[in-house]
Amino acid sequence: MKIYQPREELRPYVRYYWVLESNEPFSVLTFPIGCPQIIFHRGNPLYIPELDKSQSYFTISGQVNFPAHIQSCGHLEMIVAVFYPHTIGMFIDTPPSAFYNLEISGYDIENRRLNDIAKRIFECADHRLCIEILDEFLQSKISTSLNICRIGESISTLLRAPSTQVNTLADKACLSKRQYERVFCDTVGMRPKEYARIARFQKALWLMQRGVNSYAAIAAECGFSDQSHFIRNFKELSGHTPKSLCRYCSPYSDLFTNPA
């Protein structure tokens, strides 16, 4: 896998790009990472058994609340843009709530410019040039709004303290709780309490990745009510207890690790 940084103007909105090529079949367990993605398959698309479907050659991957065993039959070549939790909507002119727990075809949102970008990427022979095409398009779409700024502050708060109450987040955003939940869902793609679960889970993975092995300490650091609450939430989002996951693979938090 190769990681590419977006150009400087895009870094507040696009976390990174990655490119993967593989001729070998594989199956990989993936978890909710809290960040939407745009995916271009120049080879065979991935199959997701939990959804009983293959990704489109041009896929928009939304916020999810379940683990998935993604499968490749080989001849894989994919280019992926990974966004911050609250920013993808400005680039595709579609609220992320429209593809909650879904992998939708980018062609289904009927965005002419985005379809043209997909066509150019599929016709381009060089990965770095593909990233430049994406960079140029995404930069042209930067359009910040009050709600994006509000929810961006909320995401920062939740990453620092995932147990922050919705009322507190709403007050900081100068919105009523009802307004805030609607704006958050439209911007991020899921409700704030559900996103907080993802943030707690990803923070737990990050602590485990750094070598913390006290479940009580992880529970306290991530805002779980107790160790049992931590283990239950962890299993719901990964399909494993923390102990069994460490036997299955090395813990890795995408949300709290920036590979770029």
Instruction: For residue 187, give the 3-state DSSP assignment.
Output: helix
Which pLDDT score, from 0 to 100, does residue 34 have?
A: 96
Reading the block at residue 92, the tokens are: 């595709």
- Residue 175 burial by CB count (10 A; 0-12/13-18/19+): exposed, middle or buried? middle
163-166: long-range contacts at Cβ-Cβ below 8 A with a sequence spacing of 24 or more?
A: 163/196, 163/200, 163/222, 163/223, 163/224, 164/196, 166/192, 166/193
In a structure prediction context, what are the per-residue pLDDT tens digits for the chain, which is 260 residues long? 999 999 999 999 999 999 999 999 999 999 999 999 999 999 999 999 999 999 999 999 999 999 999 999 999 999 999 999 999 999 999 999 999 999 999 999 999 999 999 999 999 989 999 999 999 999 999 998 999 999 999 999 999 999 999 999 999 999 999 999 999 999 999 999 999 999 999 999 999 999 999 999 999 999 998 999 999 999 999 999 999 999 999 999 999 998 87
Which pLDDT score, from 0 to 100, does residue 258 have?
A: 85
Residue with tokens 């080989």: 74
Which pLDDT score, from 0 to 100, does residue 233 have?
A: 96
Which pLDDT score, from 0 to 100, does residue 108 have?
A: 95
136-139: long-range contacts at Cβ-Cβ below 8 A with a sequence spacing of 24 or more?
A: 137/113, 138/6, 138/10, 138/13, 138/14, 138/81, 138/91, 139/7, 139/9, 139/10
Find all residues with CB under 8 Å of 132, minimum gap 6, and list them: none
Strands 2-4 and 14-22: antiparallel
Q: What are phi and psi of 132, to 5 degrees?
A: -65, -40
Q: Which stretches does DSSP call E strand in the chain?
A: 2-4, 14-22, 26-30, 37-41, 47-48, 53-54, 58-61, 68-72, 76-83, 103-105
Q: What is the DSSP letter of 6?
A: P
d(CA 125, CA 17): 17
Global confidence as pTM: 0.95
CB of 186 within 8 A of CB of 97? yes
Beta bridge partners of 80: 18, 39
Which pLDDT score, from 0 to 100, does residue 146 have?
A: 93
Q: What are phi and psi of 180, to 5 degrees?
A: -60, -45
